[in-house]
Structure 1
Amino acid sequence: MDERGEPVTTGRVTTDRVVRVGMVDDHQSPVWGIERILERHDDLQLVCSAPTVGDLLEKSTALDVVILDLRLNDGTTPRENVNRLAELDIVTVVYTSGEHPDLLRSAARAGTLGVVLKSASEDEILAAIRAAGSGEGVLTTEWAAAIDGDPNLDAVDLSPQLQRVLTLYASGGTSASVGQELGVAPDTVNEYLKRIRQKYADAGRPTRTKLDLFKRAVEDGWLPMPHRTRDDD
């Protein structure tokens, strides 16, 4: 808190909220590295780590963000792990050396919030965790490459009206504001959104959240890929 009693902002979260972090990696040295990075920041807490998602959840499910290695010795896939954590409302950030693009694409399809390279700077890692802790996408070139290079991202055919609803809503609009922009009732916008979600579900690309809708709009070119700069961190 500052001298007026207001929470002090550090990056993307405030110091009166601690982002509870878990880490899944079957090598100990990356865990030590993340532990060293986070221990100096009061708004981030490494709660526990484990070599598998199952082992991690046995230790704690009270987590906000899990830093997830792509290749684990238990034979699980990134998609399985991201989905398992998502069922508990725990978001993921993939932490990888980047040499397995097929695994990156699997995680991207499952809805991970982003990808951070193990060679990334300390500031980039902190920004990624804080962004994920706030429910924001971790917009890196690696995440964009995983999407762009995925031949299994089946295209979804949207009418011009559905495209407009998707872009307006995914850009931060509400049903009311989108309806006002398009000259239709909010209930009509909600029906359009149901159609859009169903079309993506039929293509095997679920949209459980508004962030998912944003990502689908970026993937299919309805919205441009945002660019993070160091000034955004």
Structure 2
Amino acid sequence: MSVIRIGAIDDDRMLLGGLRSWLAPITDVDLVLVSTTVAGYLTEVDPAAVPQVVLLDLNLRDNSVPAENVARVLATGAQVLVVSTIPDADGVLATIEAGASGYVTKDQDLEVLVQAIRDVVAGGLVVSPELAFVLSRDSRPHRPRLSAQERAVLTAYASGATLAAAARRAGVAYGTAREYLERVKRKYAEAGRPAHTKLDLADRVREDRLELHGLGEPGS
């Protein structure tokens, strides 16, 4: 059985101590590094044994920027799972866009956290109910409001499917799928992020993390 190396960055020293105790009985997870700041983590991390996943507190007391913290940890070769007790929708969205592999709240059971760690190592994206809620209500001007069916056609088409196949996956007629795709292109153009080609659309899906979910309130 392979053991997952993890790190934790949190300015709550009591929580870090508790985390060691809580994880001790888990045989496939090894907490190899803890730090109260990202700067401390960068100083202490062993390049030859970088944690596979780092649990990163969303808002650290040093007033460091959450998205920048994610980027700095990712640069070491670790994946990032953001954890927090404070609801901060903008901060959560920024960390996901910066490349974090998910977000969980600190009130979750240990089993939920450990499974999230395993999912990240397996290449998955952890969409907790809290993250799903935040994503579904993201209405910033630069992110177009897409209906569920528009998003379904877009993600299928941008992943490499033909428009006919995307239509089948979304459960709509070919002509309807084509209309949805044109609407999506218009919405991105109006948001100042034009997407003329299939490659452009794939970029928008990746940038907006649309592969995370089929979420969002219906919109026109």
* 1:218 alignment counterpart: 214
TM-score normalized with structure 2 length = 0.69
Tell me how far apart the structure 2 counterparts of residues 27 and 102 of structure 1 sit (CA, whole Å): 22
Tell me how far apart the structure 2 counterparts of residues 127 and 144 of structure 1 sit (CA, whole Å): 17
CA RMSD in angstroms comes to 3.3
Matched, 1:127 2:112: no
* 1:110 alignment counterpart: 98
Q: Which secondary structure state, in structure 1, belongs to the residue aligned with residue 214 of structure 2?
A: helix
Distance 1:124 1:50, change over 3 A: same
Tell me how far apart the structure 2 counterparts of residues 199 and 137 of structure 1 sit (CA, whole Å): 17
Percent identity reads 23
Mapping 1:23-42, distance limit 5 Å: 23-42=8-27
| 1:167 corresponds to which of 156, 177, 181 | 156
* 1:53 alignment counterpart: 38
Matched, 1:155 2:144: yes
Mapping 1:133-144, distance limit 5 Å: 133-144=121-132
* 1:225 alignment counterpart: none
Distance 1:26 1:161, change over 3 A: closer
Q: Which secondary structure state, in structure 2, belongs to the residue aligned with residue 81 of structure 1?
A: helix
**Amino acid corresponding to residue 136 of structure 1 in structure 2:** G
Tell me how far apart the structure 2 counterparts of residues 63 and 181 of structure 1 sit (CA, whole Å): 43
**Amino acid corresponding to residue 21 of structure 2 in structure 1:** R
Deviation at 1:142, TM superposition (A): 0.8
Structure 1: gaps (5+ residues): 1-14, 184-190, 223-233
- What is the aligned length? 184
Q: Which secondary structure state, in structure 2, belongs to the residue aligned with residue 218 of structure 1?
A: coil
Which digits, 9 at most, give the CA deviation of each residue in 1:27-66, with x for residues without a partner?
Answer: 1111122212221122111110111112112211412111
Distance 1:39 1:165, change over 3 A: same
Pick which of 161-170 and 52-61 moved more. 161-170
TM-score normalized with structure 1 length = 0.65
Distance 1:193 1:38, change over 3 A: farther
